[in-house]
Amino acid sequence: MITNKAVNEAIDYIFRHMEESIRLEDVAEHCHFSKYYFCRLFKEQTGESVYSFIKRVRLEQSAFRLKVERERPITEISADYGYSSSNYSWAFRQHYDMTPVSFRRGSYRQSMEHPYFHHESWQAESFEACDRKIKIRQVPDYRVVYERRFGSYEGLRRQWSRFVRKYGAYITENTVFLERTYDDPAVTREENCLSDICMTVDKDCLLENTTVIQGGRCAVYGFRGSVKHIYAAYQTIFLIWLPRTGYVVDGGRSLFDVYRRVDKDGGWIEMEICVPVRE
């Protein structure tokens, strides 16, 4: 778990400015630390240097764009993340052991092994079935207390139990539970997947680890079913729905899930998958 407030603010800053030129000095100054002290602090909390983190996340975000924006030239996507064509191909191959072209071709598969339930495969829905579950609407901002972690989404159930016990005194009948995700596990290694588990709190809450999850215009997918089918729902949105609608993911905002009902014993969930979009 990433517990340092400054490091969490730095991560937020990096994601907000992912398609801009980000210098180490800019991140350290944003957090009001010298770059030397901040570098040590960041690596202690994340296991990566600031530079390595930015480089990795840029490549993974670009890979996600290759996957969901299939009509855009690779050179345009690489330029969004500060790469020339030749440099991008080299860096991408170093990270994924394949070229951007090969990665894009491979991402079209609509059935493959599930990354967490390894004895099962997932199958994408049809566009029509997915479209019936999605509404484009304005989603409110949520003020939340949160805890951030790296690791497989499979382990979130245990984390949620601990989180609810820890912040139980702040739970009311109006509390909303949310999960914010930053990575597509189809393009990011399990151990590097970043996520926040959250619940809403009043604006006068004095806890230090509070933030605002930005809402706005979102494609909201109504999910009802087994936990093991959430991955297929996300991949259907990415691979089937987005490419046919003209919408693109708004990289300035995070994806998040809003939980409505949870049956822990049965592994059944009713929730809204909120994907920030723009045209």
- CA-nearest of 82, 96, 34, 73 to 54 is 82
Residue 250 CA to residue 115 CA, distance in Å, equals: 25
Cβ atoms of 102 and 93 within 8 Å: the answer is no
- Range 88-92, long-range pairs (CB < 8 A, 24+ positions): 88/62, 91/55, 91/59, 92/59, 92/62, 92/63
pLDDT in tens, 223-278: 999 988 999 999 999 999 999 998 999 988 999 999 999 987 777 899 999 999 99
In this prediction, residues 25-29 reach a mean pLDDT of 89
Residue 264 CA to residue 201 CA, distance in Å, equals: 23
Residue 111 CA to residue 123 CA, distance in Å, equals: 5
DSSP assignment string, 7-70: HHHHHHHHHHTTTS---HHHHHHHTTS-HHHHHHHHHHHHSS-HHHHHHHHHHHHHHHHHHH-T
Query: What is residue 10's predicted lDDT score, i.e. its pLDDT?
Result: 94
- Range 78-84, long-range pairs (CB < 8 A, 24+ positions): 80/19, 81/18, 81/19, 82/21, 82/58
Whether pLDDT at 108 is above 80: no
Which amino acid would we find at residue 159? Answer: Q
End-to-end CA distance of the chain: 35
Domains 5-106 and 131-278 share a fold: no
CATH of 5-106, one of 1.10.10.60, 3.30.70.1400, 1.10.1500.10, 3.40.350.10: 1.10.10.60
Q: What is the mean pLDDT of the chain?
A: 91
pLDDT in tens, 138-194: 999 999 999 999 988 777 778 899 999 999 999 999 999 999 999 999 899 989 999
In this prediction, residues 204-213 reach a mean pLDDT of 94
Domain limits, the chain: 5-106, 131-278
> Whose structure tokens read 């670009």?
62
Whether pLDDT at 106 is above 90: no
CATH of 131-278, one of 3.20.80.10, 3.40.50.280, 3.40.50.170, 3.90.78.10: 3.20.80.10
Q: What is the pTM of this model?
A: 0.92
User: Which tokens go with 167?
Assistant: 């912040």
In this prediction, residues 192-205 reach a mean pLDDT of 95
Q: Is 158 exposed, middle or buried (0-12, 13-18, 19+ CB in 10 A)?
A: exposed
Containing 144, the helix (H) or strand (E) segment is strand 142-150
Q: Is 259 exposed, middle or buried (0-12, 13-18, 19+ CB in 10 A)?
A: middle
Query: What is residue 98's predicted lDDT score, i.e. its pLDDT?
Result: 95
